[in-house]
Structure 1
Amino acid sequence: MRTEDVLAAIATGLWRWDNASGTVTLDGEAARLLGLPAEEVHLPEVAVRSRFHPVDWNEINGIVQLAVAEGTLAEALLRVMDEDGRVLRTVRSRSKPLENRTADGRTDYQLVGTLQEIAAPQPGTTAAHTAITGDWRRSREAFLLDAGRALAEARSTAEVLRVAASLSMPGFTPDGLAVFGVAGDRLSVIGHHGHNPGDEGPFTEMLLETDYPAAEVVRTGRALYLPSPEEYKRRFPAAWPLARRFARASWAFLPLIVAGRTMGAWMAAFKHPVSFSPDERSVLTTVARMLAQALQRAGVAESERELTTGLQRAMMPTLGPEIPGMTVAARYVPTGGGLQVGGDWYDMIPLPGGDRFALVIGDVQGHDVRAAGLMGQLRIAVRAYASEGHRPDAVLSRASRFLAGLTDSYEEDEEDEDVGPRFATCLYVECDPETGMLEVARAGHPDPVVRMTDGTVLMRPTAGGLPLGIVADTDYPTTRFTLEPGETMMLCTDGLIETGGHDLDTGWARLRAILETGTHESESLEKLADLLVSAVHGPSSHHTTGPLADRREDDIALVLLCREGPGCGCGAGLAHPARPVRRTMLTVAQAEPERIAGARQQVRQLLHDWADEDQVDSAVLMVSEMVTNVLMHTDGDALLVAEAAGEHGTRRLRVEVADGSDELPHKRHPGEMASSGRGVLLMEMLADRWGVDPRGEGKSIWFELHEQSKADPENLPDTP
């Protein structure tokens, strides 16, 4: 039997509301419930809206937004109207919002769910009249199934109480709810619905010996049903003056019991008389049992979150004092699930002498308590080594030995468990605020990223070694470059790059687009940090917990460093200079020929908006040839410096490759099968200008390209 046939047999229809297209799809049963022919139909949103009471429809958006934010189901009671404005019936809608974030940052969603008619009592009647019908029994079963699912999804006490307040019981929905908790010998209200603020005052800090229904329920562990005001006054005369002012007609007080222990009481109050038939009592008892379990789970989860949030905040450092000429912003977002702690960290360390500081970012393998413990110890060790005045390479070498010793100790302590050695990636940057000079040592970590004054974003390749802890004695070569005024450097862990199913390449492309956009949209470094985190995970704070954090795939640590100047976005002015200059520098060592590919990529990123792609290809080809020649024909390293200056469309690119050899290049005439000897010929054909400048030690080979429109015939190279 088809699912549609089963749902139709129990008078339940399916509907789908597409917020992006503004259309609603109804199956035959859903169409019938809305007073339409009983057949599948696709309608515009306005046509479906006209079938519902306008007050009910206006509440849907708020309910849906809350469900999207909490990742729960959206439930609403909707009155179906006929063409004359009369209420045909009341239906309950339960739907799951499916969120979709568009390329322009807008959030659309689809609602996929069910419509089911409910039997609502008319004024002056009792719910007992409807309780005997088969429709009510089917509605009761569907209600309990939905209520159990909704309460099971609640993650906090506040969310449990919100779900409880939204439950629409078939035929006898209460208009007032209260949940009482027990602390020692006292009873207090921990949540209520259908009352005004402050109404809970007389019921707060109530002794368990008080002559009040909820207190008796907690003492005895048995439910109390008061079907009329007369019964309430007879059973609890002392408490009746407190209850009389709410003008209710019936009350049910039920114990909240978990594992045989009464943890509180639940009150459901009704403005219409309720006889509390066996069916109605069965529903209330089942809801109370589910509510108690949901509150217990939420309490445990909240205790864990409070514990781990405190642990997390204790481990994460605060940024140091303000640095003249520089601004720093940082974010840490833990992974979801479990204890929400992990191995990512960042730190800012004042160095001896007081004129320099270090930025550190790292990621210990794993997302558990052990990873968090190792992270805390490693962070303290790195801070100690840096504070002793060691250079960046020495700091990482010592940290690697320290972590290797720690993981060996863990293995000895846990030899019976299947645990292996842990490693950590790390990036250590020593900063000179006065000159902007940065000295970088890297241990298996993603390279730093620099956003230039005009918004151009480059990944700066740096020399590096193995992650910390893999080999105790490891060397970590350093790389130096200058952060120019107005430039911003980003350091991050791989959680920011790879979250959302991205790999390093696609994740980096996404971050690059955000950084380029952030040049114009962010007024401060703090806002840029928020923009980067929210673009990956949604709105976040410095330390994010709760439902959003539960969906995170990996920890995130992010540090932004801005050297104040035009274009920085750190409060020193956002205007770009009249003639913006882009500049990058890269060393390719004899032992690292694979970095030639990085040099080519640097030039492409520098010229990402160059007018003529053929000129970009020419520049990349000449750079590759120049750097390769240095590695092949000299014994030293190649230093590449590339600079693009001028206004867009008329810029000049100048690239220099320096080496320590005094031998000057000369023109050759290679044969067709020759594998080398074409460098000078290529520069003569492709460059607008080129030359060789001897230096005190070695030489510098350079070329220049002048940006021209592709349609300009002067852009074509001269033919012999």
Structure 2
Amino acid sequence: MRTEDVLAAIATGLWRWDNATGIVTLDAEAARLLGLPAGPAELTEAAVRSRFHPVDWNEIDGIVNLAVAEGTLAEARLRIVDENGRVLRTVRSRSRPLIDGTDYHLVGTLQEVAEPPAGTAARTPVTGDWRRSREAFLLDAGRALAEARSTAEVLRVAASLSMPGFSPDGLAVFGVAGDRLTIIGHHGHNPGDDGPFADMPLDTDYPAAEVVRSGRAIYLPSPEEYRARFPATWPLAQRFGRESWAFLPLIVAGRTMGAWMAAFKHRVAFTPDERSVLTTVARMLAQALARAGVAESERELSLGLQRTMMPVLGPAIPGMEVAARYVPTGGGLQVGGDWYDMIQLPAGRVALVIGDVQGHDVRAAGLMGQLRIALRAYASEGHRPDAVLSRASRFLYGITDSAEGDHGGRFATCLYLEVDPATGAVDIARAGHPDPAIRMADGTVVQRPTAGGLPLGIVADTDYPTTRLTLEPGETLMICTDGLLETGGHDLESGWARIRKLLEQHDGADGLEVLADSLVQAVHGPGSHYTTGPFADRREDDIAVLLLSRTPGGAAQRVAVRRTALTVAQAEPERIAAGRRQLRELLHDWADPEQVDAAVLMVSEMLTNVLVHTDGDALLVAEATGEHGERLLRVEVADASDELPHKRRPGEMASSGRGLLLMEMLAQAWGVDPRGEGKSIWFELREGAAPAESAGPAGLESEAPMASFYDDEGPPAPPEGPPAAEPLA
């Protein structure tokens, strides 16, 4: 015996609702319970909805949405009504949502019940009261139309509306283009049926055209009245077999923007109450269509601006891989002040630019477009990175100062990189922008502090020093705007910690496109274009991110190498703290934390002595080689002074002179290497090894007295502290 026969014997029907298509499939018993002929049927959502009491439908709508959200069973009691709104019976519906991505199916049963449960009658009385049904319907329709965000969605909602007691069988929405009547959308007709109505002159003897001309509704309760009033176009309507028609104006702000037709297979008297419902729906439909039209125009303008202002990456760079992403802020036009660019330069070099104009509105986007063009022009002229940013700052200052009423003196941060693919050399100029980050071949991630100047446009003439680093094979460089770091309640510090973890977890074999997606998804959640969907309204700032990786040449190196470099200028003693932080990041997985503390202390002492006892800058280079647990750390600090250090023996109360003493105590090996101009002081630590007992420095006599790095006393050095102390300068 079939399952369907068993269920029919106990007055239980089966049904299935496809949310994507709006089609409801019923077996014979379910169709009978809904007051339809007892046979399998496929109906539209609107046709099925018209069989339920509107008050009950409002409740089941919320129950189903909750079941879809929670993955639970949806159960409710519903009253079945006929075409006149009279209650035929009460059924119990039980259904389970089957979710497939963003779409879902509802599969359930219908079973007739003798009476509603106790207490239900008092809350939703089975009275067939038309006025209460009308109020419930209008509330439901208003909510659904208010939530529609596109013209297609508005039309879909309008087609699913089931009016109390007189639901239409066919709908059409007409618009106006010049002196022509057009079809915006229709429902309940076959493809091609709209042909005669798609491009009709407004002076045609057709009800919708007259409604647009006059701004007044037309009600045709019978075919005879239609034929009598509009004989010229009656043959066009006759073939659809409808019995009654209502044509209502769609009016927004006093202007008739089109007409709405509701056609019925049964006769409708169009009583005052029924006309009131139709008029209210027409007003809500007009407002929804106007909102959707404005939103679609804004989206089209937004996409056009993006296509115009946001360039695609240029041709491939030999020996390198590039990936980039741009995510506009949520709300309003999907454009802002963030951008990235890649510029081809002479001799095979490439410039990479990333920047952020203050604000994320149309004015910021306009300034961004002008500034991006200016940067391209200056770069193409062959200027070095510092000169490019200096000229760009003068340009932005000029255009914002001369139009302060429009731009309010806005500024922009920017990071400009000139890359030599052959050597991996990267020259960087920075204008108030976050520093770049490097992911090394073994997964170690460090920020690379770079010299910088003020944001562009603040003052007319500004200097932008250049920092050079080398991108080794297998390393990846990341530059981004602050939106990637600060979104989600983070500041720059905690945001960088989040992004650094993602960079460390990335499998280098997946490629930069995967990494770029994972960085954006970690901030905003998944999405194919990141500009729509549930995460769109949560965006706090625009995001631009650009990744550059140097592909390994030939066989992979057998010995892992980590390297970092930092220049500390005389005028920037605060960068000593950046050097200590850089070294800790380089040694983040070093086996012995005490060795890390010792290395940081020695670096702090070496950098401080250069700034105190010489007139030049200090260049810090740190390199770790070998396998984990057996690595060798070598740190060098170079300066331009030719004077070599000599050891002295400081007194008990001396405030300086203990630098070389620390080197002897903490390093396995250390020394001083003279160079053509200047010298390099270095030390080495072997991971897990104990410090040398009293190793003398290479190039210095061991019997020399321990003192400062230099013969002259000079200004007193900062006081020494315990190895774990942070920071000294």
Per the normalisation by structure 2, the TM-score is 0.74
Alignment match of 2:448 (pick from 453, 460, 478): 460
C-alpha separation between the residues in 1 aligned to 2:579 and 2:681? 15
Structure 1 residues 541-580: aligned runs within 5 Å: 544=531, 551-565=538-552, 577-580=557-560
Alpha-carbon shift at residue 474 of structure 1 (Å): 1.2
- Deviation sequence 1:222-243 (CA, Å, 0-9, x none): 3344556776677667767766
| Runs of at least 5 residues in structure 1 that lack an aligned partner in the other structure | 1-6, 25-29, 36-49, 68-75, 91-115, 120-128, 567-571, 709-714
AA of the residue aligned to 1:305: R
Residues 1:445 and 2:438 are matched in the alignment: no
**In the alignment, which residue of structure 1 is the partner of 2:250?**
256
Contact kept in structure 2, 1:341 and 1:367, CA below 8 Å? yes
- Deviation sequence 1:366-412 (CA, Å, 0-9, x none): 2333333332222222222222221111111122222222222113x
Alpha-carbon shift at residue 291 of structure 1 (Å): 1.2
Residues 1:377 and 2:360 are matched in the alignment: no
Contact kept in structure 1, 2:327 and 2:531, CA below 8 Å? yes
Residues 1:409 and 2:402 are matched in the alignment: yes
Contact kept in structure 2, 1:456 and 1:606, CA below 8 Å? yes
**In the alignment, which residue of structure 1 is the partner of 2:703?**
none
Alignment match of 2:350 (pick from 357, 368, 389): 357
C-alpha separation between the residues in 2 aligned to 1:374 and 1:510? 31
Alignment match of 1:475 (pick from 463, 487, 493): 463
Cα 1:691/1:89, change in 2 over 3 Å: farther
**In the alignment, which residue of structure 2 is the partner of 1:181?**
175
C-alpha separation between the residues in 1 aligned to 2:169 and 2:495? 50
AA of the residue aligned to 2:381: E
Cα 1:601/1:23, change in 2 over 3 Å: farther
Q: What value does the CA root-mean-square deviation take over the aligned residues?
A: 4.1
**In the alignment, which residue of structure 2 is the partner of 1:399?**
392
Cα 1:364/1:538, change in 2 over 3 Å: same
AA of the residue aligned to 1:431: V
| Corresponding residue SS for 2:294 | helix
**In the alignment, which residue of structure 2 is the partner of 1:641?**
621
Residues 1:346 and 2:340 are matched in the alignment: yes
Alpha-carbon shift at residue 445 of structure 1 (Å): 1.0
- Deviation sequence 1:529-562 (CA, Å, 0-9, x none): 3332333234566794788656533222222222
| Runs of at least 5 residues in structure 2 that lack an aligned partner in the other structure | 1-54, 80-90, 118-122, 695-729
Alignment match of 2:583 (pick from 598, 603, 608): 603
C-alpha separation between the residues in 1 aligned to 2:263 and 2:498? 53
C-alpha separation between the residues in 2 aligned to 1:87 and 1:581? 80
Alpha-carbon shift at residue 174 of structure 1 (Å): 4.7
Residues 1:141 and 2:128 are matched in the alignment: no
C-alpha separation between the residues in 2 aligned to 1:166 and 1:482? 63
Cα 1:140/1:354, change in 2 over 3 Å: farther
Alpha-carbon shift at residue 597 of structure 1 (Å): 1.4
Alignment match of 2:611 (pick from 612, 628, 631): 631
Q: How many residues align?
A: 622
Residues 1:159 and 2:147 are matched in the alignment: no
| Corresponding residue SS for 1:187 | strand
Contact kept in structure 2, 1:331 and 1:542, CA below 8 Å? no
C-alpha separation between the residues in 2 aligned to 1:702 and 1:596? 16
C-alpha separation between the residues in 2 aligned to 1:88 and 1:529? 60
AA of the residue aligned to 1:440: I
- Deviation sequence 1:550-590 (CA, Å, 0-9, x none): 65332222222222227xxxxx9xx9754332211111111
Alpha-carbon shift at residue 478 of structure 1 (Å): 0.5
Contact kept in structure 2, 1:34 and 1:80, CA below 8 Å? no
Cα 1:305/1:699, change in 2 over 3 Å: same
Structure 1 residues 82-161: aligned runs within 5 Å: 130=128, 133=129, 136-161=130-155
Contact kept in structure 2, 1:80 and 1:88, CA below 8 Å? no
Alpha-carbon shift at residue 200 of structure 1 (Å): 4.0
**In the alignment, which residue of structure 1 is the partner of 2:522?**
535
C-alpha separation between the residues in 1 aligned to 2:666 and 2:265? 88
C-alpha separation between the residues in 2 aligned to 1:87 and 1:599? 81
Alpha-carbon shift at residue 481 of structure 1 (Å): 0.5
C-alpha separation between the residues in 2 aligned to 1:430 and 1:603? 25
Residues 1:309 and 2:303 are matched in the alignment: yes
C-alpha separation between the residues in 2 aligned to 1:506 and 1:19? 36
C-alpha separation between the residues in 2 aligned to 1:393 and 1:79? 66
Contact kept in structure 2, 1:448 and 1:491, CA below 8 Å? yes
Contact kept in structure 2, 1:345 and 1:361, CA below 8 Å? yes
Alignment match of 2:677 (pick from 690, 697, 718): 697
AA of the residue aligned to 1:300: V
**In the alignment, which residue of structure 2 is the partner of 1:616?**
596
AA of the residue aligned to 2:678: G
Contact kept in structure 2, 1:80 and 1:89, CA below 8 Å? no
Cα 1:298/1:426, change in 2 over 3 Å: same
**In the alignment, which residue of structure 2 is the partner of 1:593?**
573
Cα 1:157/1:517, change in 2 over 3 Å: farther
| Corresponding residue SS for 2:153 | helix
Larger radius of gyration: 2
